[in-house]
Amino acid sequence: MRNLSNYFKTLAPKLEVGGCFTAHNVRNTDMEGTSEFIDYVKDLPDFKTTIDTSSSEGISISYKMAED
């Protein structure tokens, strides 16, 4: 997941307002970096992040609400 955080940080500025970033297996807290990634994206003021729990391991969906 550490790579996911880095990927998100690289991609986020390129997303247009209304775009979204998804990640799977985010409920698997045994994976290194999962909690840190979720904490990071949930604290971003320009994104709204939800966790879809209909998947057994969870899918995070981060919508870009505004520009930085």
5-60: per-residue pLDDT in tens? 888 999 999 999 999 999 999 988 778 888 889 999 999 999 999 999 998 889 99
Q: What is the pLDDT of residue 2?
A: 58
Q: Among candidates 13, 56, 11, 6, which has minimal Cα distance to 32?
A: 6
Within 13 Å and on the Cβ side, how many CA atoms surround 62? 25
Contact 63, 16 (CB under 8 A): no
pLDDT score of 1 more than 70: no
